[in-house]
Structures are given as C-alpha cells and as structure tokens.
Amino acid sequence: GQNIDQPTEMTATEGAIVQINCTYQTSGFNGLFWYQQHAGEAPTFLSYNVLDGLEEKGRFSSFLSRSKGYSYLLLKELQMKDSASYLCAVRPSGFQKLVFGTGTRLLVSP
C-alpha cells in the first residue's frame, strides 16, 4: 500500500522561510513531486526529486532522503501569493500514476 503524510496546516510570515515536510511509505519508489494548489484551481508542478539531495529552483527547494522516506519543500522569501496548499506526491515503482498526500495548507500573513 501507499501512505503519504504531511502536516495539515502551517502559518508563516511574509518574507520568512518555511519548510513543509512529507514522509512516505510506498511499494517501491520512482520519484517524488511537489505541487502547489490554490483553492479551486489545478495543481501546479513545483519540483521533482528522484535521487537523494537538494534540488533548487528559485525561491523553492526540495530535498529527498530515500532511506528515510522523507522529503521537504523549502520556501524562501515568502510572499502573500504563496498562500496555497502544497501537495506531496510519489510515483511508486512499476506504476505510471502519482499518489498524493492530503496536502499542507500554508497561510502567509503580513
């Protein structure tokens, strides 16, 4: 089976840094994805990790440890528009689908 855990909600202040954690237990592993989803909108692809380590993309970075079944998404210099849900998703090996966690709702305040 597949199980992906994320905190339900986080709050942070504009300009700050926030780290959103994700732990997973899946039947094999073929990559981990982070998506941003604003309310009522489609998930938007942020990052992809398949090897251990940090991937950086502008203000967003994502880290993976396969041995620990753990990832985090780091958002720097937070802006109000970063208020959204952040979805962690895994592609189990042997499958083409993504399995999503429940998402972390991030609220950025002034």
Partner 1 sequence: EPEVTQTPSHQVTQMGQEVILRCVPISNHLYFYWYRQILGQKVEFLVSFYNNEISEKSEIFDDQFSVERPDGSNFTLKIRSTKLEDSAMYFCASREQGLSDRNGYTFGSGTRLTVV
Q: How many residues bind partner 1 (CB under 8 A)?
A: 24
Return the residue of 69, 73, 101, 106 that touches partner 1, per CB under 8 A: 101
List the 3-5 sheet strands across, edge first: 3-5, 18-25, 70-75, 60-65, 53-57
CA end-to-end distance (rounded Å), the chain: 41
- Which amino acid is it at 89? A
Q: Which stretch binds partner 1 (CB under 8 A): 12-20, 62-70, 72-80, 96-104?
A: 96-104
Per-residue x/- mask for partner 1, residues 42 to 81, rule CB under 8 A? xxxx--x-x-------------------------------
Q: In whole angstroms, what is the distance from residue 48 CA to residue 2 CA?
A: 18
State in angstroms the smallest separation of the CB of 15 from partner 1.
28
Distance CA 86, CA 17 (A): 15
The residue ranges that bind partner 1 (CB under 8 A) are: 30-31, 33, 35, 40-45, 48, 50, 87, 89, 91, 95-103
